Structure 1
Amino acid sequence: MKLAQLTSKNLILLDAVFEDRLEAINVLTDKLEQSGKLTDKQMFLDAVLKREEEGPTALGEYLAVPHGKSEAVTEPVFACALIKGELMWQGLDGDEPVNMIFLLAIPPAEAGSTHMELLTTLTSSLVDDDFREQLLQSRTTDDVITLFGGEDELKEQQNEPEQAPQPIAKDVSSLMYPLVLGGGILISAFLFLLL
């Protein structure tokens, strides 16, 4: 999974400044709503805040991953804020400084699969010191999307030859008629032998 598949430039904040984690969560939730990814902002926000109460979402390495699973989410997505300076966030051993926040929004139907795959991709990318450093030094949202693998997708789309549209359905009635008829005869013969 490429991170770029689950976000967009309008969901990325650079040099963000927040008073506290609640403001950060609110601002990123606003971004998700403005992008049409939420049908009910308050319902999603309630899910995120409930999750925050259940346990810490700062994962070390200056990374916080608040998240919410909610029916209000239209598709799996995340908003991201790269912070100017640091913000204290609840971690396993008390509050810890973070400078990267990824707010994950997951529909309940994809809570196991997409959620875990996204978390795994995110954390495995961010344990790489070089990747983290490049991310924090990004000057534009294009830079961030490129780091998330967006440039590769763009190149692939440009290199793919245009394909003729495939037919939506194929007429197989001429093949199915003998098959259905033969099946009917076999079933009739079987039932006749049982009598």
Structure 2
Amino acid sequence: MFLKIWVAVLATAIMSGCSTYAANRYAISVDNVTALKQLNGKKLSVGSFTASEPGKTEIMCRGVGPIKTPDGQTFENFIKKALEDELKIAEVYSASAPVTLTGNLDAIDFSSTSGTWNLALTVKSSNGNSISVTENYSYKTSFYGETACNQTAQALMPAVQNLIGNVVRNNEFNKLLN
């Protein structure tokens, strides 16, 4: 009898001990769109995005559970779609544009202890130029794993907004356009 109760308690603990933390879908940044509208009619398309760790859709958080992208997409595709969405809303996206931007997600990681997302991205233009940017996004965290991991998941989207902003507001961005 005691063994059955112990097994039931252990099974319940194991099943409830692992949560999944989904990041929010990407939302447009007004600052990024405003910067892109300054391109004076230039059009861009977005090609494929790769990653130094390709195909990654989640990162484990404190052994509590994984931080996942929305809809199970890879981190590199999450960032690619974010850039595309910004370009579309700013009315500078065209699938047939003379210039295509591609990218490589050089690094993506976080610390739920210190409350930081660390992202690095290289964007290449079909004209041969490229720029590399980083974003070290700070957010409020917690001592408690469940709370910290939830806050980490919620901080991915604004970290990506800032990363895209670091691209489109970069002094070298215009070199990608011609």
Using the size of structure 1 for normalisation, the TM-score is 0.27
Task: Report which of the two structures shows the higher radius of gyration computed on alpha carbons.
Answer: 1
Quick check: which one's strand share is greater?
Answer: 2
Quick check: which one's helix share is greater?
Answer: 1
